[in-house]
Amino acid sequence: MLRQRILSVVLIAAALVMPSVSQTPPSPKPGGAADGDAAVKPSEAPAASLPDAPAVQGSGEGKQSKRILGVIPNYRAVSADTKLPPLSVKGKFVLATQDSFDYSSLLVAGFMAGIAQARSSYPEFHQGAAGFGRYYWHSFADQAVGNYFTEFIVPSMTREDPRYYTRFHGGFFGRTGYSISRLFITRTDAGGETFNFSEIIGNGAGAGISDLYYPQRERTWTKTGQKWVNQVALDGVFNFLKEFWPDIRHDILRRQ
């Protein structure tokens, strides 16, 4: 029953994510990870830990991969029962860069630009090839600005860890609640917990900065607030996908 429930919800979430992604995922936002006791090589550690030091990982269950469904970037997700050293400022910069310039981000920017142009979301951009170019670079800029604020700039200032620590253990509803809570609670570089300024303030700052390169008529409090709320909600969907991806990958797709 748990597998069927997880699969159905993930398929629905994936259907929502693929046509509406405007930033690279997300965020692995920290939570509590259980202690492990087996040392692993740096090459076996989660991608997010590689810029700094090797990880210490427990059992092989709850293991994350670099991509979800072979496409969605999953660099920030940390496997369950994995202990990581603090992520340096350089590591946070690398993380934001990976999410911003991953090939899938380039494709998503084009997809979002096509949707926006078809709907004539910004009449000032016009139609045709030139119009698509304007839609494209605005979409790409939105993704990059959001990523750098939530994964690099704000976390470096507040000393927060922008990675998502997979819980894995527990029931479906408990883990779902945990994944949503990571929007508001995150791990500090020192290993404690704090309010997730990176997610809330970072996305707010990204939405505000985007007003600088959008047409004047689009720079309203309402539209800026909508972009802010939509991005936080989208990150919540990504958190859910990150939390249950090890289950889907191992139990349903039968991958180690």
Q: Is 80 exceeded by the pLDDT of residue 249?
A: yes
Q: Give the CB-side neighbour count of residue 91, counting CA atoms within 13 A.
A: 23
Cβ count within 10 A of residue 69: 16
Q: What's the CA gap between 21 and 72, in Å, rounded? A: 10
For residue range 78-109, list pLDDT tens digits in order.
999 898 999 999 999 999 999 999 988 888 88
The mean pLDDT value of the chain amounts to 80
Confidence of residue 129 (pLDDT cuts 50, 70, 90): very high
Instruction: Extract the runs of DSSP E, i.e. beta strands, from 36-120.
Output: 38-39, 56-57, 67-68, 72-73, 77-78, 82-83
CA angle (202, 72, 46) in 5-degree steps: 80
Q: Which residues contact 131 (CB under 8 A, 6 or more apart)?
A: 117, 125
Q: What's the CA gap between 1 and 9, in Å, rounded? A: 12
- Tell me which of 131 and 55 has the higher pLDDT: 131
Q: Is 50 exceeded by the pLDDT of residue 118?
A: yes
Q: How many domains does the chain have?
A: 1
Most confident of 69-73, 115-119, 201-205, 228-232: 201-205
- Grouping H, G, I as helix, E, B as strand and the rest as coil, residue 86 is coil
Which structural domain, as residue segments, surrounds residue 198?
Answer: 2-252
- Grouping H, G, I as helix, E, B as strand and the rest as coil, residue 83 is strand
Alpha helix segments (H runs only) across 102-220: 103-118, 128-148, 154-158, 172-181, 197-210
Confidence of residue 256 (pLDDT cuts 50, 70, 90): low
Q: Is 80 exceeded by the pLDDT of residue 48?
A: no
Q: What's the CA gap between 143 and 183, in Å, rounded? A: 18
Residue with the two structure tokens 């939570």: 31
Report, as an integer, the average pLDDT of 107-113: 87
Most confident of 42-46, 71-75, 116-120, 147-151: 147-151
- Grouping H, G, I as helix, E, B as strand and the rest as coil, residue 46 is coil
Residue 73 pLDDT? 86
For residue range 218-240, list pLDDT tens digits in order.
888 988 998 899 889 989 999 99
